[in-house]
Every structure is written in structure tokens, then in C-alpha cells.
Amino acid sequence: MLRVRPLVHTPDPVAAAGFLQALGLRRAEDPAANGAYAVFDAGSGRVAVHGCEPGAPEEGATALAFDVSDVREFARRTTEAGTAVELSEEEYGLAARITAPDGTSFLAGIGPRATGAPSSPLAVLALWSTPDVGPVGCVLADMGARPRTGATAGARHDFSAKNGGLVGVRAAERPAVVLAFEYDGDVRELVGGLAAAGVEAAVRDGGSSRSLRVHSPWGAEICVTERQHDAEGYREQ
């Protein structure tokens, strides 16, 4: 079991929750929210919100993270596939930590196999920028993520997690992870819900598909792209 669940750090988790719900995510019942931590379900994948102090080093940052059903079994399989895993006790329990060749470190922790979230065209997309595209792709494959699309020009490679969510790997000088979303439909359908919540959205036409860009309460610009089914230069796998 593997699900993409990026972690957003913000001093205002209430505003972050309202923003995600306006975008179309729903508050998860498992795990139950507390004052500093809450999880939100998209149709595919999840987003966790973690409260932090204003001015904290992690403020506004997004960390890559995953849900698994059995941490020790996930660690065993990933290690056997070729990627080293370190087990550690975190505030919420046992977790598996992986450090990729580009230095990006992330956790996989316990999550429900089925979230009970209603069907939705919205999918969580963690964009992982890295100078080591090939090695990062190997790490994701060792974890059980599956290559979904590849740009013939090598601009981005997408991996899907069996239980929801996507990771897009793209070449860059420095490693970074940002939160984004993919929408299997017309992104203009999202504008009404955002406007009702007082969130201004800009729709951009990229020719083969549109994208929607909004500013989040934690300071990051969030991009929602339309899923490309048969656009030139992409292939389904």
C-alpha cells in the first residue's frame, strides 16, 4: 500500500484547511484532526497540514511524505528493491525514512488502506525538482510507485502511487518539493468554489490544456493542471 501525502507547514492551519476545502479536498476522518495537525483527502492522494510557529524554519514549506499500511513491511520491500530505509519513532509512531541521492529526506508512516473519500477528479501531485532525475525515479520505483507518463523531451516524469496521488519528477539545479494538483476535467470548474471562499484564481491556457493558479495562505503558489490523456509528447504507461 502506498499513497502520496505531502505535508504543509503553516502558522495558520485553520486558513490552510479552508483553502484546501475550497479547492475541493475534504477533511479526513482517519486520522482525526487535532489542533496542530489535520489531513485532507482529494479524489486521489492526501495533504497533511501541520501547524508551526510564525517565523519557524519550516514555515511555508512542503515536505514529501507517504502513507503505508505496514511500515516494517514497506521498509523490507524497499530495501530489498535497492533503496536504503531507516526506521524511526516519530510523534505519531513508527515511520520509515528515506534519503534520496539528491539529499531529499522524507517519511512514510501509517495511513488507512481505504480513506472513504468520495470520488473526485482532483489528484494530489507532489512536484519533486532534482538534479538527479534518474536516481530519484529509481527510489520511487523501489518504493512501489509506478511510472505513469513520460515527456519525450525529458522535462518531467510522473509516478503514481497504488492507493492515490502522483509524484512528478523534473530536472532542476537544486532539489525542492512543492504541492500541486492534477484535475481530470476542466479546471475552470474549480473557480466557483474558490471564489465563494474569497480565493482569487487565474486560469491559463497552455494550448493543449489549461492550468489554474492560486496563492495559498502559507505563501506558496499552487498550480492545478488538467490531466493530459493524449497530448503530443506524453504517453500513458
pTM of the model: 0.93
Alpha-carbon distance 42 to 148, whole Å?
A: 19
In three-state secondary structure terms, 237 is coil
Alpha-carbon distance 161 to 165, whole Å?
A: 6
The region of weakest confidence among 70-79, 147-156, 159-168 is 147-156
- Split at pLDDT 50, 70, 90, the class of 230 is low
So what's the pLDDT on residue 158?
94
In three-state secondary structure terms, 140 is helix
Alpha-carbon distance 85 to 76, whole Å?
A: 8
Cα distances (Å, whole numbers) of residue 140 to 2, 3, 38, 146: 11, 12, 25, 8
Nearest to 126 by CA among 185, 49, 46: 46
- pLDDT at residue 182 above 90? yes
Cα distances (Å, whole numbers) of residue 109 to 104, 127, 233: 17, 20, 35
- The b/e string for 86-125 (b: 16+ C-beta within 10 A; e otherwise) is eeeeeeeeebbbbebebebebbbbbbbeebebeebbbbbb
